[in-house]
Structure 1
Amino acid sequence: MPITTFKVLVIDDSNTIRRSAEIFLKQGGHEVILAEDGFDALAKVNDCQPDLIFCDILMPRLDGYQACAIIKRNAKFADVPIVMLSSKDGVFDKARGRMVGAQDYLTKPFTKDQLLHAVQEFGRAMQGIS
């Protein structure tokens, strides 16, 4: 089965996390867009129209929960899957992510396999492939 290529936006204020995610995703054959905070991400979502978004929770200016809620309120992007990224693995954090529209939650540090599995899982769901 051929692997489908997706356009993935990674939002994280950590340069290390952004670069790691970019390397992993590009190795998986995906197109990668990087944003360093929620405000930067909002412009890039509109300009690049990603297929999937990975979004850090703790960021300056506009945190991941706020960015996710704003993206999901826009009808044009309401169906774009968002996976929250956080070093915190609490039930409250996961529940809050779901409340603002996130589809899943990945704990940092993540592995290449975890990242690529999430892309394939949500990419297939978007295309209606089971």
Structure 2
Amino acid sequence: MANRKILVIDDSRVIRRCVKDMLPEGQFEVLEAEDGAEGWNLIRSTEPNLIMLDFFLPKMSGWDVYQEIQKQQQLKAIPLVLMSGRKEEVTGKIQEPFVDFAFVEKPFDQKQLIEAIKDAMQKAKKHAVAKPAAVSGDPQAMAAEIQALKVTIVKMQEEMKTMKKQFNQVVQFIKQKLG
């Protein structure tokens, strides 16, 4: 039995079937919803591993479902692929580049679908709800987290030095042009 659940929310039975047929057989449990309200209920009740969401839906639009997802950190951590045949209407509400989800324009082929899923998984990682080491109480995990933070601080300090240098170069250039 597949333990990874993909929720496909689309009012087109053809699109839902196409997505199901394009996925590797037996590796996923594909759940289907034909409108936004049904999809939103399934998101909350089934905790899918991936959401494929049509932007234009009856009862509750994909835009409304997306906004509800964005309100909850645990749901933002679920990879999301937004689907639409009218990209310009999507970009009218959500500016590119899309940072919280992947986008695939309908109609799409298997390669485009797989690429969109990979992209969604990458984008969702930044919202992953991780249990902090300090909460878990594991001293080794805390030490590793502290070390990782120290490395991040060093990198940030180097970036700040570079930015200061670049800023000073810009200031000098402007002074020369004005002087």
TM-score band, normalised by shorter chain: 0.7 to 0.9
SS of aligned partner of 1:77: helix
Letter in 2 for 1:8: I
Contact 2:102 2:117 in 1 (8 A): no
SS of aligned partner of 1:62: coil
Distance 1:46 1:26, change over 3 A: farther
Provide the aligned length of Structure 1 versus Structure 2.
123
Q: CA deviation at 1:110?
A: 0.9
State the distance in 2 between where 1:82 and 1:98 align: 16
Question: Residue 90 of structure 2: which of 84, 88, 93 is its match?
Answer: 93
Q: CA deviation at 1:49?
A: 0.7
SS of aligned partner of 1:59: coil
Contact 2:36 2:57 in 1 (8 A): yes
Q: Indicate the structure (1 or 2) with the bigger Cα radius of gyration.
A: 2
Structure 1 unaligned regions, length at least 5: none
1:41 maps to which residue?
39
Contact 2:81 2:120 in 1 (8 A): no
TM-score, with structure 2 as normaliser: 0.59
SS of aligned partner of 1:80: coil
Q: Percent identity?
A: 28
State the distance in 2 between where 1:124 and 1:89 align: 21
2:169 maps to which residue?
none
Question: Residue 103 of structure 2: which of 102, 105, 111 is its match?
Answer: 105
| Greater relative CO (CA pairs within 8 A, separation 6+) | 1
State the distance in 2 between where 1:126 and 1:101 align: 9
CA-based RMSD of the aligned residues comes to 2.7
Question: Residue 56 of structure 1: which of 54, 57, 61 is its match?
Answer: 54
Distance 1:95 1:17, change over 3 A: same
Q: Which has the higher helix share?
A: 2
Distance 1:68 1:125, change over 3 A: closer
Question: Residue 71 of structure 1: which of 36, 55, 69 is its match?
Answer: 69
Distance 1:36 1:16, change over 3 A: same
Runs of 4+ in 1 over 4 A off after TM superposition: 98-102, 124-128
Structure 2 unaligned regions, length at least 5: 127-179
Distance 1:58 1:126, change over 3 A: closer
Q: How does 1:105-124 map to 2 (within 5 A)?
A: 105-123=103-121
Contact 2:82 2:102 in 1 (8 A): yes
TM-score, with structure 1 as normaliser: 0.78
Contact 2:53 2:83 in 1 (8 A): yes
